Amino acid sequence: MKTAPVVPARIVSDDDGTPRSADYGDIYHPRSGALAQARRVFLDGDALAARWRDRARFVVLETGFGLGNNFLATWAAWRADPRRSRQLHFISIEQAPPTRAMLASIGRDAALAPLADELARRWPPLTCNLHRIAFDEGAVELLLAFGAVDSWLPQIVAEVDAFFLDGFAPARNPAMWDARLFKAMARLAAADATVATWSAARVVRDGLRGAGFEVEKAPGGAGKRDITRARFAPRFTPRRSPRVAAPTSPIAAPAGSAPTWPVAEPAGSGAAAAHVVIVGAGLAGCALARALAERGRSLVLERNADIAEGGSGNRAGLFHGVVHRGDGRHARFHRAAALMAATAVREAIGRDGVQGDVGGLLRLESGIGLAEMKSLLDAQALPADYVEALDAAAASTIAGIAVSTPAWHYPNAGWVDPRGLARSWLDRAGASAGLRLRCDVASLRRVGANWQVCDGEGAVIATAPAVALCNGDGLLGGAGNAPWPIRRQRGQLSAIDASSLPPTALPRLPIAGVGYVLPPIDGTVWSGATSSWDDDPALRPEDQQRNVERLAMLLGLRSPSLIAALQGRVGCRFTSDDRLPVVGAIPAAIAAEMVSGFAAAPTARFDQPRFVARAPGLFVIAALGSRGIASAAFGAQLLAAAIAGAPSPAEADLLDAVDPARFLSRRFRRDEAARARASVLPGQPPVGPIAGSAGA
Ligand SMILES: Cc1cc2nc3c(=O)[nH]c(=O)nc-3n(C[C@H](O)[C@H](O)[C@H](O)COP(=O)(O)OP(=O)(O)OC[C@H]3O[C@@H](n4cnc5c(N)ncnc54)[C@H](O)[C@@H]3O)c2cc1C
Ligand SMILES: C[S@@+](CC[C@H](N)C(=O)[O-])C[C@H]1O[C@@H](n2cnc3c(N)ncnc32)[C@H](O)[C@@H]1O
């Protein structure tokens, strides 16, 4: 997906107060009122109350979020309905979103005002991302795509029950009523999906018919013109990609039918059963337990005596986004992840008293000058509440120390105690998540429709229809050939007594560059982290020295020899060869390598990750690398959605970028190219160890 700068709406007000777009010359809603239109055209038009009744999940997709009136009306109606679906997902695409200030200044119907206030409070920075905002303890999820509908619609991964088409008038805003848009809707439509729109234009009706919808006119009401309703009635059922056709959806059961924890506890055996067994209680595993809590029950198995003692066991670490020329997948992934991390960390600090701060972060820039930094931001129209380019003087003011280079300032970034964050996630999962410590998982066994999770003796620890490997590298003992190119990287952090540093050199916020320094935490300044490809668990004096030198450089201190690192911590992080995490459903071909006796169904296509067949109910979050604090929450939300078959909070090409199948696809394409060169038959599956091919 090619990202485009997000330019805020230009909204003016008509004499009677009706908001109007200065760009399109059209009004956002009829003069009769936004709420009245939302109820009459969209809520009634799609028969929401009757259709979401008693369901586990209901998914709405809207074109044109505008001022959010339709979302607010839907949320209010859902709240007021005792027989509402357990979860409501509302996906909306908006090219020119209002700023937070605009949103807060819109006059609202009294019934919507409190919800509108909450929406304005939670409004994200205007970046080209799919922003996830959870309301009502996660029961309501708003997925907001900022950008043009023709770029975003093909990127949405969801099964939609009801469409709201709410562009401006087709004559003024043809892009919102294009035939390709209706075709893209058909790809997303659930079997009984419906469409509602206020427009009765011929182009709309013909477009919907052409995409497989049965179309009818309905009276507009209150003396208004006709509106359009449609129902999905395709001549053939579109095939879903194997990645989406949920490998198993153990927790997508209808409301009330979800079994309570534990599902079944065989007497005497000590084995447990759950919807999802999570292997590993680091940031990834705990974030997943939290993300699944809104949907079902999980059991976390951890080999250590406590949670977050592995890579996630540092005293503190930082999180922030990135800026890359071209805004490719890395930049988009880390931006989405960092924005989600900011929300998660704020929540952990506010609710659970976890140590940390979302007060911003500076990344010193020595490669390019300020003018180039600014032009990079201008080209992408990245907003100042995501990142800004500061000269050394402005950076020094923010940092509270003398900074000698320009810097990127990420105002929604900061630092946190990862152990506290992991604990807070697990606590928030509450009774939905069980935890077993000192539980070393050695292997998996496929029995019927379940996975048995076994210890080193082959004894069954737990049984579940789904297992998520959140154990750092996604491998289990005796897996044979590593199924993906993930490497273990040693890292050392150093602790320096803050009182040994000049008070004028103590930063107010994290400073990153070559390495990083955190502001003093309980009298200690943490600096790091080194990287090496060995697994020496001991603190190394030369690494302490390197961290001290980095600290001196970042804080502008001339005499590093006077500073002593007293303690430190050694940990490891797992990194993939393309520096992106591995998140998603495990391909059947890889499961066959990992699990003895598992017979994989043949895969029809390997050329793109989304077409690769999956092992039922086997998932992974691995290789969070040196950005696990920043990316655990996002990775967990992606995986929870995949497990539950819910709309994905990431666009399709980001799912490709982190998909565990990407290594197979890469290998396949390379083999195909080699075969083509050697004139051999195309279409054969890739062969041989995948990890070896990538130099892991
Ligand atoms: C020195 C250092 C500094 C870092 N600094 C930062 C930073 O500033 N910002 C940032 O974003 N990231 C940072 N990171 C990276 C971040 O800490 C990691 O990416 C993150 O902790 C990985 O989380 P995880 O849950 O995937 O892995 P882990 O935290 O390692 O959790 C995996 C868990 O699985 C358990 N486990 C493994 N195998 C089994 C098994 N077979 N059965 C049962 N349990 C098992 C392990 O005991 C462990 O508890 C740093 C990492 C290091 C090492
Ligand atoms: C009628 S308003 C939507 C009102 C909104 N549904 C509400 O409840 O407040 C139409 C919206 O479509 C947006 N829009 C127009 N063209 C677009 C495009 N190509 N892609 C995405 N959004 C677009 C406009 O910016 C505008 O906000």
| DSSP secondary structure letters along 198-213 | S---HHHHHHHHHTTE
- pLDDT tens readout for residues 94-131: 999 999 999 999 999 999 999 999 999 999 999 999 99
The set of protein residues with a Cβ atom below 6 angstroms from ligand 2 is 9, 28, 62, 64-70, 93-96, 148-149, 166-168, 173, 175-176
pLDDT in the model for residue 671: 86
Ligand 1: nearest atom to the Cα of 570: 1
Rounded to whole angstroms, how far apart are CA atoms 657 and 661?
9
Lowest mean pLDDT of 137-141, 550-554, 555-559, name the range.
555-559
pTM score: 0.94
pLDDT digits (tens, 9 = 90+) for 505-518: 999 999 999 999 99
Could you tell me the pLDDT band of residue 487, with boundaries at 50, 70 and 90?
Answer: very high
| 624 touches ligand 1 (CB under 6 Å) | yes
The mean per-residue pLDDT over the stretch 198-224 comes to 90
- The ligand that comes nearest to the alpha carbon of residue 147 is 2
The band of 673, judged by pLDDT with boundaries at 50, 70 and 90, is confident
User: What is Dmax (Cα atoms) for the chain?
Assistant: 83
CB neighbours of 619 closer than 8 A, spacing ≥ 6? 247, 466, 467, 468, 469, 584, 585, 586, 639, 642, 643
Q: Which residue has the higher pLDDT, 675 or 271?
A: 675
Contact in structure between 527 and 493 (CB atoms under 8 Å): yes
Query: Is residue 254 scored above 70 in pLDDT?
Result: no
150 CA distance to ligand 2 middle (Å): 13
**Distance from the alpha carbon of residue 177 to the mean position of ligand 2, in angstroms:** 11
How long, in residues, is the chain?
Answer: 696
111 touches 38 (CB < 8 A): no
In angstroms, what is the span from residue 81 Cα to ligand 2's centroid? 27
CA distances from 468 to 66, 387, 439, 616, 658 (A): 38, 34, 15, 12, 15
Do 504 and 354 form a contact (C-beta atoms < 8 A)?
A: no
The CA 694 to ligand 1 mean position distance, Å, reads 23
Bridge-partner residues for 622, per DSSP?
472, 582
Q: Using DSSP, state whether 78 is helix, strand or coil.
A: helix
* Residue 235's pLDDT band (cuts 50, 70, 90): confident
Q: Which residues pair with 301 in a beta bridge?
A: 279, 436
pLDDT of residue 562: 67
Tens digits of per-residue pLDDT, 136-194? 999 999 999 999 999 999 999 999 999 999 999 999 999 999 999 999 999 999 999 99
CA gap 42, 34 in Å, rounded: 11
Q: Which two tokens stand for residue 624?
A: 């969070």
Cα distance between residue 71 and residue 99, in whole Å = 17
Closest CA to 589 of 441, 463, 690: 690
Residues 304-351 pLDDT 10s? 999 999 999 999 999 999 999 989 999 999 999 999 999 999 999 999
φ and ψ at 51, to 5 degrees?
A: -90, -25
pLDDT tens, 632-667?
Answer: 999 999 999 999 999 999 999 999 999 999 999 998
Distance CA 292, CA 87 (A): 13
Residue with tokens 């800026």: 323
Instruction: Kindly list the strands in the beta sheet with 414-416, ordered across the sheet, starting from the edge strand earlier in the chain.
Output: 317-319, 414-416, 356-357
Structure tokens given for 623: 């290789």
d(CA 275, CA 451): 10
